[in-house]
Amino acid sequence: MRFDSTGKASLGHLYTQPDPRAYFGELRGLGYCVPQQAKPYFEKLIKEYRESRQVEVPTVVDIGCSYGINAALLKCDTTMDELYARYDTPDAGPDDTAAREALLARDRELSRSRTPAHPLRCVGLDISQNALSYGLAAGFLDDAVYADLENHDPTPEQRAQLAGADLVISTGCLGYVTERTLTRIIEAQGGRRPWMAHTVLRMFSYQPVERALSALGYETECVEGEFRQRRFASAEEQALVVAAMSANGVETRGLEAEGWLHARLHLSRPVGPE
């Protein structure tokens, strides 16, 4: 098993396949569940935004959206368990184009048949073109931005796609994605400041992001409690992560030391006049 510079198992290959079968197949075994846990908090924040800003169809930008998982949960009212079962197709080969098209047809029907009571527009941002293409074709995503905003300013076309964001969310990518990406998304709004909600692994400090958002006129609160993200992929991954967290003064007893990666949810709203 390969590990990245943080000590986490390298799972990047799951996000580059033509469809989500490998993604859900491997993460199911690890109990990956943080999007499901974050869903009610996202829904509550969207409801608050819709009512306070009188916006009938809010636009949500999902950073690190992969195949449009958060969009599927929010727009189609699915669950992670439902999606795990949906993509469990053991008889299909990894390069089975027919199987991919069958999955897409089912997902398009899901998107059509489960129109939310309160409409939502979801824009996905990711560095995996395959994942974005699938989420867009399935109807989970309404628009897809293929960009690396950590290292590059958005193009004029990408800025136009990101403009008009009402809320910006993420489940697990912050720590790899930093305040650089968030700042570039805010700069694309032409003076507007979208609300934000991000689940961030406890192994990563949110302080640099919070400081950057504060300088842009945001106030951040951390929701009480921890959210399970997934089980460790191996004892070695757990040992590496726990050692790194302990070295940074982060207590892991009862949390990572028990075998699960845990995240915190941070909510950021602009203060002052819009």
Write the DSSP assignment of 197-243 as a string of letters: EEEEETTS--HHHHHHHHHTTEEEEE-SS-EEEEE-SSHHHHHHHHH
Express each pLDDT in 24-77 by its tens digit: 999 999 999 999 999 999 999 999 999 999 999 999 999 999 999 999 999 999
Spatial CA neighbour of 38 closest among 87, 86, 79, 81? 79
Express each pLDDT in 91-136 by its tens digit: 555 567 888 999 999 999 999 998 887 899 999 999 999 999 999 9
39: CATH: 3.40.50
Would you say residue 6 lies in a domain? Answer: no
Assign residue 272 a region: left if phi > 0, alpha if psi is -120 to 50, beta otherwise? left
Strands 143-146 and 167-171, sheet pairing: unpaired
Would you say residue 133 lies in a domain? Answer: yes
Q: What is the pTM (predicted TM-score) of this model?
A: 0.95
Would you say residue 4 lies in a domain? Answer: no
SS3 73: helix
Would you say residue 102 lies in a domain? Answer: yes
Report the number of distinct structural domains present in the chain.
Answer: 1
Domain that holds residue 247: 12-270
Would you say residue 3 lies in a domain? Answer: no
Would you say residue 199 lies in a domain? Answer: yes
**Measured distance CA(261)–CA(8) in Å, rounded:** 10
23 near 66, Cβ under 8 Å?
yes
Residue 137: pLDDT over 80: yes
Would you say residue 126 lies in a domain? Answer: yes
Would you say residue 71 lies in a domain? Answer: yes
- How far does CA 135 lie from the centroid of its chain? 13
